[in-house]
Structure 1
């Protein structure tokens, strides 16, 4: 129900709204010390009315950062490939799911995410504790579990619209808080574990 409400609000955004927010989000995110120091960033390509990521991905590449992007596997886990610019993306339609832009080149395996200094996570909302509400597919829950098993602690950052930072979202035992949320108007940080 809560996911549906956030998606409904996003569906009312125009292409101009999404584009303007994406430019501001990229600018604000690039000011994060974590991204300024990162050698490898695991990210994603936004789709539809999600907060836009392409401007940020291109800016990171221009800085010489290795950007990893996910490819959805049949079991909802994620494989990773290197982003080599917008021309390196392929539109992939997964049965019963939306079409996603994924890296067209070599796949590095699900564990490639463990090399990232920063992981940009998609989400629908983040609450005052840093708990993230995802879309419910579990792909990024697997990523977070994989990072924990590997004993690595990259900065976890979510890009959202201002209205998606809320007082409380439901949480399950496997959920982990993020370290920061970037919105068009602010950066909000949460305690590191």
Structure 2
């Protein structure tokens, strides 16, 4: 399922992907942020939706931005992204703030994925980083707003899920921002 969804995404015209990513940035007005609210995004790799325009639109509305940083084979933290700060290679073709950047706990998470279903279950890239990071936030009493960012072509019939898998709250695609039904 992962490979098929990624092949469909990779098959999208590169110029169309850029235009769709820019159009998705217009959804910034649909994401409630208050000054100082922490929003995590991601540095796009391969053919992912480029969320940088959306992230910077949210920053213009007062959000503090952060990006995931891989600490080891099981753990990511979210380091603050500031304009003009140097970025370092994070692996997998991504970049992010270095060790000197402050570690933040996001209350809104823009999440990449390989595939998703209509119930709000996702297939990531197989590392489980986001599931564990969200669990750590829950342990701190933080219930982040989870917004997957993907193209419509990444939709699959049904993602196999287990009790520990985190259900997404919303999806932002070229078709707009939509909420998933709860606990299906």
- TM-score tier by shorter-chain length is 0.7 to 0.9
Q: When you count helix as a share of all residues, which structure comes out higher?
A: 1
The alpha-carbon deviation at position 176 of structure 1 amounts to 1.5
The alpha-carbon deviation at position 108 of structure 1 amounts to 3.3
Q: Which stretch shows the higher mean deviation, 65-74 or 31-40?
A: 31-40
Match for residue 48 of structure 2 among 43, 47, 50: 50
Question: Is 2:154 aligned against 1:154?
Answer: no
Structure 2 match to 1:101: 95
TM-score (norm 2): 0.88
* SS of residue in 2 equivalent to 1:80: strand
Paired residues in the alignment total 183
Take 2:79 and 2:173, find their aligned partners in 1: how far apart are those partners? 26
TM-score (norm 1): 0.84
CA RMSD in angstroms, aligned pairs only: 2.2
Take 1:145 and 1:39, find their aligned partners in 2: how far apart are those partners? 20
1:116-160 deviation per Cα after TM superposition (whole angstroms, max 9, x unaligned): 221111112221211111111111011121122112112110011
Q: Which runs of 4+ in 1 moved over 6 A?
A: none
Match for residue 41 of structure 1 among 30, 39, 42: 39
Question: Is 2:89 aligned against 1:92?
Answer: yes
Take 1:91 and 1:48, find their aligned partners in 2: how far apart are those partners? 17
- Contact 2:150/2:172 (<8 A) preserved: yes
- Contact 2:69/2:79 (<8 A) preserved: yes
Question: Is 2:166 aligned against 1:172?
Answer: no
Question: Is 2:122 aligned against 1:132?
Answer: yes
Unaligned segments of structure 1, at least 5 residues: none
